Each structure stands twice: as C-alpha cells, then as structure tokens.
Amino acid sequence: MKFEEALAAMRAGKKVRRPGWVWEAAEGIHFGAASPWVVALLDMMADDWEIVVEDPWAKLDRYRCHKVVRAARIQAVTCSSTTTELLLVQGDGLLCAHTVNNDTLTRYTPVPGDYFVVYSDGYQSISPKKAFEEGYSLQEAVT
C-alpha cells in the first residue's frame, strides 16, 4: 500500500510497516541508525507498506505440556451417520479398530496420520499429527 494509505491505517490504530521498519501511532517510528528525516522522505515515496497482522493470542500466558497420555496413530477413518471407526496402529505395531461417537469429533475430523489420544482421566480426543508430534515424545515402556 502507499504511504498515504499507511498513514490512514495508522490513524485508525493499526500497526503498519515497510520491510525492516515498524511504525506505530503511539510509539513513533523505529529504525536503525538512519536519520528520522531521511526515513520520512523515503517512506513518503514508498508503496511497499503493509499492515502488521499480530497474533491475537500473544498476550496470553504460555504453558508447556507435561501430561502423560496413551495414544495411537490413526491408519484409516471410516465415518457413518452416528459413529466413526478408527483403525489404530498400536505400540506393538498391530492394527486395532476403535469406534468413537461422532460427538467426539465435533471440532475436528481425523485423517490418517493423526493420533487418537486417551488422557489419564479417560477423556478421549483426536490430535492432528503436527500438533501431537510437536507436543509429545514417545516414552520407553516401563517393565
């Protein structure tokens, strides 16, 4: 967007930037060692301004998961009107079928590669592959 559009966005309370620069209405301009006058002249001619899209959850506290769960990778998914059958790969490498009520899947429909997860209190859920593998690591079996 052009500089005039960037100014209008900033006046509306949005954060705008050019590559390497961030300009905020409340905080002024942030830049390296360049003079603010040089920056202002160059910025008025630039048409590479963009609105900064911020993470809406950035101000929430961060937590690290330390739960121990039981889980199996989903090999296949077969849906009916009321239930879904999951073909799971167990820890021993064997396959087993598990049927879940479709109420379990109201927020997310599993695909092969996702994980079926059982928490210590018996709660069952489906976890997308990426989220599960980033959050959990396999524990060695205790004998």
Q: Which residue has the higher pLDDT, 10 or 38?
A: 10
Q: At what angle do helices 36-45 and 3-11 cross, to 10 degrees?
A: 110
Q: Which residue has the higher pLDDT, 37 or 50?
A: 50
Instruction: Please report which confidence band the pLDDT of residue 102 belongs to, taking 50, 70 and 90 as the band edges.
Output: confident
pLDDT recorded at residue 113: 94
Average predicted confidence (pLDDT) for the chain? 79
Domains identified in the chain and CATH numbers: 3-51 (no CATH), 70-135 (2.40.50.100)
Q: Which residue has the higher pLDDT, 95 or 63?
A: 95
pLDDT in tens, 21-46: 655 544 454 444 444 445 566 666 77
Q: Which residue has the higher pLDDT, 1 or 54?
A: 1
Question: What percent of the chain is predicted at pLDDT more than 90?
Answer: 27
SS (H, E, C) the chain: CCHHHHHHHHHCCCCEEECCEEEECCCEEECCCCCHHHHHHHHHHCCCCEECCCCCCCCCCCCCCCCCCEEEEEEEEEECCCEEEEEEECCCCCEEEEEEEHHHHCCCCCCCCCEEEECCCCCEEEECHHHHHHHCCCCCCCC
pLDDT recorded at residue 41: 63
The 21-24 sheet, strands edge to edge: 28-30, 21-24, 16-18, 50-51
Averaged pLDDT, 76-95: 88
pLDDT recorded at residue 88: 92
Residue 60 confidence (pLDDT) above 50: yes
Residue 83 confidence (pLDDT) above 50: yes
Model pTM?
0.57
pLDDT recorded at residue 33: 45
